[in-house]
Amino acid sequence: MLKTDNKSIKVIPLGGLEAIGMNITAYEFEDSIIVVDCGLSFPDDEMLGIDLVIPDITYLKENADKVKGLVITHGHEDHIGAIPYVLRELNMPIYATKLTMGLIENKLKEHGLMKTTRRKVVRHGQSINLGCFRIEFIRVNHSIADSAALAIYSPAGIIVHTGDFKIDYTPLFGETMDLSRFAEIGKKGVLALLSDSTNAERPGYTMSEKVVARKFDSLFAEHVKRRIIIATFASNVDRVHQIIATAHKYGRKVVVEGRSMVNVIGTAVELGYMEIPENTLIDVEQMKNYPDEQLVLITTGSQGETMAALSRMAASVHKKISIQPNDLIIFSSTPIPGNEKAVSKIINELYMKGAEVIFQDTHVSGHACQEEIKLVYALTKPKYAIPLHGEYRHRKTNAGLAMSMGIPKDNVFMLSSGDVLELSNESARKAGRVPAQGVFVDGLGVGDVGNIVLRDRQHLSQNGLLIIV
């Protein structure tokens, strides 16, 4: 599976390069295509009435006979959220680690696709063969357990696809990133490294999850007389786990609000990724049986999502929970680029209800900062660098890091979604484009709404509508 002279592999990102979200990349060699990740993104403010944006897989459908499988790096929505929609158009087997597969199966059950979808759970360190490719799963740290980088062995050479990662030398749960394996693969000769760019603008190292654990402990100790509400990402299993552990330490009961949060916790417990002390979790209806100082609520809505539980509490439209003046509300997240205004609106509404809101030092990122990104370049020593996962500015900074590590400028590629990059050990070139505009999901309609409809909706929102009868 090592490189063969004059053989080239095509790298085709179908999403994830213009903004955070909708990550999906195809790798093609002769009659074999593998797809890595299949995420969604959320609509911009101008996309009126749009619920989700999913990848355009026209190229994959046109080459369906070549597609050997879908390989997933981890279980975040921007990497798995579009799977049910894509499978309706192109059925292919899915390969993922255990927790990631559990989260995918939740979606397949919801969409009635369990019986028609082939699935295989893969362990870290294990390899699978798909067509002419061999794909090895490598353990990395991220803000969700069971995350993996991929070493993709092809006749053209080895490609390392990091997925989302950070280097945490002291993780709260699980093991450290398998840096030694990256080094071993680097010694074999890496054709290309496609790496996470999200935090490429941040110098230094990403802090360990243990920093947040200490902050939670101090906040719980300081506010023993108050009800505590914590908003975080539903998929951040380790973060939710440590919140529950801290609540148990201080004798508090835990209420989980938000359907996605409930589903993720249920899956994590079922698969052995989370242990919850007996009698710690209670239903929202049982809250009335306990004083406020004995309660912790873990909720969705950390990104200001309109229909999430915390947003409904802030707007006084939640049917069962009202914000009280004595509440302490902790945002254990940072706004995803584009969500800052929505998050600020929620924080203001919570303050107006008399609650105290804390959002400093209560979150650490799941993405690598500059020194971690540089370390992976140093270990893998790739011939070509292709920054992934981020806005243009993030990827441009990552490209600069690659060049600072000795990769020639001509070997660093800033791609756009839809670009086709042909790589071989002798040369690299952009060889055209494929459709990759994104497909709008509007209620039950997938792809029914285009730019003209969005333009009309914008006009209606600004100018109104006059009907003469």
Which residues belong to the active site? 196, 367
Amino acid code (one letter) for 117: T
Q: Which stretches within 207-363 are classed as H helix?
A: 209-222, 237-249, 259-270, 309-314, 340-352
Strands 52-54 and 67-71: unpaired
276, with CB counted inside 10 A (0-12, 13-18, 19+), is: middle
The C-alpha R_g of the chain, in whole angstroms, comes to 23
14, with CB counted inside 10 A (0-12, 13-18, 19+), is: buried
Task: Map tokens 């019986």 to a residue.
Answer: 115
Distance CA 268, CA 99 (A): 7
305: CB partners within 8 A, 6+ apart: 311, 342
Distance CA 360, CA 334 (A): 9
Measured CA angle at 85 (ends 81, 89), to 5 deg: 140
Comparing C-alpha atoms, which of 454, 395, 448 is closest to residue 54?
448
